[in-house]
Structure 1
Amino acid sequence: MVLLVIDTQKGITDDRLYEFEKLKSNIKELIALARENNKEVIFVQHDDGPGTGFSVGDEDFEIFDEFAPNDGEKIFTKNVNSALHPSTGLLDYLKKKGVKTVMMVGIMTNFCIDATIRTGFDNGFEVLVPEYTNSTYDNEFMDRASCYRYYNEFMWPKRYAKCITMEEARSRMQGK
């Protein structure tokens, strides 16, 4: 199993996110547990391209300090929604390593998290989504709480992912 930390970048990781404090706490805990239990932690950053303010070299592009990768941890960059799109190289990397289960956390629920979960499912991975480890902002169509609930309680379970409690996530990280 690997822990995939998606788009937790400085420019979007803030209190506009649904249940921001819970999100921060849970993601930090899972990163620490993964490291303690020799599970690989892989980070993904979204790049909107030069001149956007959200690209390589821009402060907002950098990974949120509280989730910072350790030396040697893999970081993949993408310019599409799914972290598992062939252009990122991540899918090939996971397949070559023989990974079967991917625990996914990050931002934004309704964009890159959803796309990555579906791509993971389509490629045969067991996808685990711990509670309050993904989030999004309000938008003109849906408030952030409704969006979180729609995906985590309706769209993903029994279709694309196993949406699990933090207790189960801890247990899985510890190999129990």
Structure 2
Amino acid sequence: MTDALLIIDMQTGLYDAPDKPFERERVLATINQLIGRAREANRPIFVARHTGPEGSPIAAGSPYWQLWHGLHVDEARDHLFNKTRPSCFLGTDLAQQLRAVEVHQLVIVGMKTQFCIDTTCRVAAELGFSVVLPEDGHTCMDTPALNAKAIIEHHNATLAGAFARRVKAADVNF
């Protein structure tokens, strides 16, 4: 059994949106550090792109759908896949791909905390994967109800224990 890194929705349309993600540069640097450590350990990296319907700003192939250019993903080496729902599992073959390479533990990072990070952590745990959530490896934008920092803190606390093992990114070992 092995570990894998799952990067969610680090796309131009979200990362560079008019409402910028909370601490986006720090989160990007953290994710890139995890990519480097996963590569050094020869662990698989999976990268999800949220894909909107034809004609939407994040339709497949559109400029906003592209991965953020500063993300150190290697499209020839890493496993890129498209999703249309908050869960990285619904409507994709991610679970089968993870099982094919004998992944047991999944380190989940990216955007947006209250949607795709939350949902994917919960579903991964339900599917029997051990989930590691770097508390400093995911982000979102402010909402009318809560600022992004509060959303992130809330989800880190809520997901910890029942759905994920909460750690600092610096403490993730592949």
Q: With structure 2 as the length reference, what TM-score do the two structures score?
A: 0.93
Q: CA deviation at 1:54?
A: 0.4
Q: Are residue 94 (structure 1) and residue 98 (structure 2) matched?
A: yes
Amino acid at match of 2:11: Q
Which residue of the partner structure matches residue 143 of structure 1? 147
Deviation per residue, 1:66-110 (Å, 9 max, x gap) = 11421132111000110022x111011112322100000000000
Gaps of 5+ in 1: none
**Which amino acid counterpart does residue 162 of structure 2 have in structure 1?**
R
Determine whether 1:80 maps to 2:85: yes
- The counterpart of 2:7, out of the listed 5, 8, 14, is 5
Q: Structure 2: how far apart are the matches of 1:167 and 1:67?
A: 18
Cα distance in 1 for residues equivalent to 2:71 and 2:47: 9
Number of positions where the alignment pairs a residue of Structure 1 with one of Structure 2:
169
Between the aligned partners of 1:160 and 1:26, the Cα distance in structure 2 is 22
Q: Map of 1:1-176 to 2, 5 A cutoff?
A: 1-14=3-16, 16-70=20-74, 71-85=76-90, 87-152=91-156, 154-169=157-172, 172-173=173-174
- Conserved 8 A contact 2:125-2:131: yes
Aligned-partner Cα distance in 2 for 1:28–1:98? 23
The root-mean-square deviation of aligned C-alpha atoms, in Å, is 1.2
Conservation of the 8 A alpha-carbon contact between 1:81 and 1:111:
yes
Matched residue type, 1:88: T
Distance (Å, rounded) in 2 between the aligned partners of 1:163 and 1:100 = 16
> Residue by residue, what CA displacement relative to the aligned partner does 1:109-138 show, whole Å, maximum 9, x if unpaired?
000111100000101111001131100011
Where structure 2 has 5 or more consecutive residues not aligned to the other structure, the ranges are: none
Superposed CA offset, 1:33-70 (max 9, x none):
11121011110000111111101110110011111421
Indicate conservation of the 8 Å contact 1:19/1:132, yes or no.
Answer: no
